[in-house]
Structure 1
Amino acid sequence: MNAKPSSATGVSRSGGSQRTTAPPESADRPPVASFDALGLPPALLKTMTGLGVTEPFPIQAATLPDALAGRDVLGRARTGSGKTLAFGLALLVRTAGLRAESKRPLALVLVSTRELAQQVSDALTPYAQALNVRLATVVGGLAINRQAAQLRDGAEVVVATPGRLADLVSRRDCHLNHVRITVLDEADQMCDLGFLPQVSGILDQVPADGQRLLFSATLDRDVDQLVRSHLHDPVHASVDPASASVTTMEHHVLTIHPADKYATATEIAARDGRVLMFLDTKAAVDRFTRHLRASGVRAAALHSGKSQPQRTHTLAQFVEGRVTVLVATNVAARGIHVEALDLVVNVDPPADAKDYLHRGGRTARAGQSGSVVTLVTPDQRREVNRMMSEAGIRPTVTPVRSGEQKLTTITGAKRPPTGPQTSGGNAPFRGLGARSGRPAKESRKTAEARKAAEARAAARVRKGR
């Protein structure tokens, strides 16, 4: 039998649009030391134990008591801190036992990218199954009619990107008037990607007295606007400094000659183990990936020009180790979660502190260690110094050249499997660092410097260095 949403613990449903304050005794709940102390359903605890989830991470310990009690929560936590279960367990427990009507979900998780949506869905699926909660994922790039059919069959929880959800709502394939709990995951990324109007429009359609859980690495102007407009008396929880810097993460700036950039990046890519490498444009990503593959490196490209099935397949290859180097743009790599990824390389330095922190957040996740390496040419030093300062990062700065032991010590760099670092007669650094994605035109002086650097690199290779 279908049941319409009922009153949530600690949340008043007066039938009007005005949201009311939660009981005073629910404020300032102390963090919990164990999941057992939360009174979670036995079936859920059994599943968690089977998956090795036995002790709460700090963000989970800080937010779960209030989230389970129905309070609005504003959590500041970087990616990889365990916030998916911080909101996911509360959402599933508070939805369990209810049945959604056709096209009318009871809980909503909004995320910035397709990859993050899939990551959240994959993380929550075993717990949803344990509680008999139906989960649907709706994202762009996949068949909208199939997603509409899922909603028509009934789903208690929907994980969605704002654009696709807005499309389904406009087609009347989804109605939001029964949504009791709304989660905004990585809200700062959604705002950065221009989704603020869509997110606000979606929040205006869900019942005003429902619960809101918002998680963000930073709380800047746009996120603050969401908080002020749509959260009521939220509990604040912050387990990271405002800059979201990570104590288990090493930060390195490698100063390089422009003509040596391609060779340096190629040697890093040829290391043992996986590495995620960032470039500015889709064209640059494709060029560098082709070069790496020609050099015998198992590399794959990830950017918004790829179809969603292609992106999903590429990520699966990287997670499984069939591809060791993932070359990506900023947007495409948001939401990537790979266990034991210990190196992120900014082949092109990010434009601002936010991008640096989001890129770096792909490593040193869930208490693990990792390194972020940024390749910097002399003309980029001033901007990179400013960006690092804004990010609250004090990197180790090291001048390096391809083939040097210093490069190997920091990154594990090694000679690529086949041939020298450069491919054919093309300028090795073209397309890397050009934000337009067009090959840079070399001056005679630059070309001479590049050829000299290539000759030195080839000589080092011949000597076996």
Structure 2
Amino acid sequence: MNKFRYCTLWRCCATYSSLANVSEHLRNRLVAMGVRTPTEIQEKALPVLLQGRSAVVNSETGTGKTLCYLLPIINRLLSDDETKAPYSFVLVPTAELAMQVHSTFDGLADSGWQCSEVFGDRKMTIKPYTRCVVGVPSSIATYGLQRLLKTTSVLVVDEADLLLTGGEKAATWKILRNFRALYEQNAGQRQMIFSGATMPSRGKQSALASLARWIPKSTEVIQTVGVHLPPQGVEFSYVKVVDDSHKMSLLMSLLSCHNYMSSILIFVNTTSTCEQVYNTICSSHDLPIDHNTIGRLDKGVDMDQRYLNMQLFLEGHYNVLVCTDLFARGIDIPNVDLVVLFDFPTNAADFLHRAGRTARAGKSGKVVSYVLPRDKHLCTLIEHTIGQRDSFDEELFSRKKMLKRRIGRILDTMDM
């Protein structure tokens, strides 16, 4: 039996002012950031989360889920700032996302508060006014969790499907188990928030199924109609290619005719391919672009340079960024109108997250996918699903080797 309470609220809030519990300070900060109207998921989730209730927040990419959990955290601190540090923990899968959450927190919070980042060489620093710790679970889990979490009122798991079932799974569950023990002692004073864009429920090992066996029964699942779908403003194209050299030739032709009035993201599957594609683009003398406006982001780049490259791209100084999936999850990039999937992803979840870097906040964009023969079946199913505006079959979110057999079974049942 499903242990969750599913929330079916109607859209009713025209502005953040309609949410009576949001402080005037926060509303002013949102206006200063150019954010005036809540998205669908914010309208549904904020009334629940502002009351301190635990929830799973599940909606398509680019819909403002970060604000869904940061606004309640900051709003409560504004009304009661006597809490001991740290007040909240935000778990994220990558350093890049941790830095973005930190930046958003700083833009909304009181100037006297501090947010600590924890990943790689970035060590946790807890000071009297540390109100939020954001970081990668495996880095956070190396500290004394019982002491740290004793004063923590809010625990957020962002990109929850990846953290609960991916490479950070062990550390994430370790932190959750420690927090759950404290939650049971004083449930009314503690809150858990799980956020994601691809939260499948099928299968015993899926993210929601795993949570359902563990999380308190009062937890609500709040989701949008468009969950497990790409943004409506995306135009998709799929290009059949023979091999990697064919892909590179097509990519160079595409870059040579782009107007560069906005940014381009090029996704690859591995660090070595990222380096190769980046070097090939930079060595070309036929592109109408300054080589100093091309960046690279993958684990082969040291952390400080990755941060610099990310900032240069977000601020528009880089026109092109070649990257792995380090840049696919949660990163808000306002002016990307073209995403190129140089390497086709191995599952539908990664496809949705990569495609979700464009057409954000109601804008439009294009996604061009290069499709090798080995990618044909997954691509066919994705193309059909998008064309029908159906939700992605959750089986396609699997990262296991059995995926190809599952795709075959699904294709056999479809009227193509």
TM-score under structure 1 normalisation? Answer: 0.72
2:37 alignment partner in structure 1: 55
Which residue in 1 is equivalent to 2:255? Answer: 269
| Separation in 2, partners of 1:387, 1:249 | 14
Measure the CA separation in 1 of the matches of 2:372 and 2:172. Answer: 39
Is 1:105–2:78 an aligned residue pair?
A: no
Are the structure 2 counterparts of residues 383 and 48 from structure 1 closer, same or farther at C-alpha, using a change threshold of 3 Å? closer
Shift of 1:241: 3.1
Contact 1:32–1:62 (Cα < 8 Å) also in 2:
no
Separation in 1, partners of 2:359, 2:11: 27
Residues 236 and 32 (structure 1), Cα distance of their counterparts in 2 relative to 1, 3 Å cut: farther
Quick check: 324-333 or 79-88, which moved more? 324-333
Is residue 292 from structure 1 mapped to residue 267 from structure 2 by the alignment? no
2:400 — aligned with what? Answer: none
TM-score by length of 2: 0.79
Q: Does 1:126 align with 2:86?
A: no
Q: Following superposition of structure 1 onto structure 2, how do residues 306-345 of structure 1 map, counting pairs within 5 Å?
A: 306-345=301-340
Residues 264 and 93 of structure 1: CA distance in aligned 2, closer, same or farther (over 3 Å): same
Contact 1:138/1:160 (CA < 8 Å) preserved in 2? yes
Measure the CA separation in 2 of the matches of 1:71 and 1:364: 31
Offset at 1:293? 0.5
Counterpart of 2:196 in structure 1 is 216
Do the aligned partners of 2:157 and 2:195 also contact (CA within 8 Å) in 1?
A: yes
Give the equivalent residue in structure 2 for 1:193. Answer: 166
Counterpart of 2:220 in structure 1 is: 235
Q: Is the 8 A contact 1:29 1:65 kept in 2?
A: no
Task: Give me the CA root mean square deviation.
Answer: 2.5
CA contact (8 A) 2:99 2:117 kept: no
Could you tell me which amino acid in structure 2 is paired with residue 286 of structure 1?
A: E
Q: Deviations over 1:227-281 (max 9, x none)?
A: 4413441233212434222211111101234353211111223422221111121
Cα 1:185–1:237, aligned 2, differ >3 Å: closer, same or farther? same
User: Any residues of structure 2 matched to 1:168-183 within 5 Å, and which?
Assistant: 168-169=143-144, 175-183=148-156
Which residue does 1:16 correspond to in 2?
none
Task: Name the CA distance, whole Å, in 2 between partners of 1:77 and 1:136.
Answer: 26
Assess if the C-alpha contact under 8 Å between 1:278 and 1:329 holds in 2: yes
Question: In the alignment, what sits opposite 1:32?
Answer: 13
Aligned partners of 1:319, 1:30: CA distance in 2, in Å? 31
> Could you tell which deviates more after superposition, 218-227 or 316-325?
218-227
Counterpart AA for 2:82: R
Who wins on radius of gyration, i.e. which is larger? 1
Q: 1:267 to 1:76 in 2, by over 3 A?
A: same
Task: Report the equivalent of 1:156.
Answer: 131
Deviations 1:332-383 (A, max 9, x none): 5433321111111111111111110111111111111111110123454234
Q: Deviations over 1:152-184 (max 9, x none)?
A: 4441222222111112336x8x61012111111
Distance 1:51 1:241 in 2: 26
2:332 counterpart letter in structure 1: H
The one-letter amino acid of 2:219's match is: P
- Structure 1 counterpart of 2:413: none
The equivalent residue for 2:239 is: 254
Structure 1 residue 318, shift from structure 2 partner: 1.3
CA distance in 2, matches of 1:291, 1:29: 50
Q: 1:52 Cα shift? A: 1.9
| CA–CA separation in structure 2 for the residues paired with 1:318 and 1:27 | 38
SS of 1:179 mapped into structure 2: coil
Counterparts of 2:221 and 2:208, CA distance in 1: 14
Mapped to 1, the partners of 2:227 and 2:347 lie a distance apart of 15
Does structure 1 conserve the Cα–Cα contact (< 8 Å) formed by 2:156 and 2:192? yes
What is the alpha-carbon distance in structure 2 between the residues aligned to residue 236 and residue 382 of structure 1? 32
Percent identical pairs in the alignment equals 27
3-state SS in 2 of match to 1:129: coil
Counterpart of 1:394, as a letter, is G
Q: Does 1:72 align with 2:54?
A: yes
1:177-203: per-residue Cα shift (whole Å, max 9, x none)? 121111111111223532222112112
Q: 1:93-136: CA deviations, max 9, x gaps?
A: 112332343xx412121111111111111112121126x5x232
Q: Secondary structure at the match of 1:280?
A: coil
CA contact (8 A) 1:343 1:370 kept: yes
Aligned to 1:229, what secondary structure does the other structure show?
coil
Distance change in 2, residues 1:277/1:240 (3 Å): farther
Asked whether the 8 Å contact 2:93–2:162 carries over to 1, the reply is yes
User: One-letter code of the match for 2:87?
Assistant: L
Say which SS state the counterpart of residue 191 (structure 1) adopts.
Answer: helix
Provide the rounded CA distance (Å) in 2 between the counterparts of 1:287 and 1:322: 22
1:139 aligned to which of 118, 140, 154: 118
Give the ranges of 4+ consecutive aligned residues of structure 1 lying more than 4 Å apart after TM superposition: 26-31
Unaligned stretches of 5+ residues in structure 2: 201-205, 389-416
2:210 counterpart of 1:225: yes
Moved more, 78-87 or 36-45: 36-45
Partner Cα separation in structure 1 for residue 103 and residue 343 of structure 2: 31
Residue 361 (structure 1) aligned with residue 356 (structure 2):
yes
Q: Does residue 367 of structure 2 align to residue 372 of structure 1?
A: yes
Kindly indicate whether the alpha-carbon contact (under 8 Å) linking 1:32 and 1:65 is maintained by their aligned counterparts in 2. Answer: no
User: 1:322, CA displacement in angstroms?
Assistant: 2.5
Q: C-alpha distance in 2, partners of 1:169/1:370?
A: 45
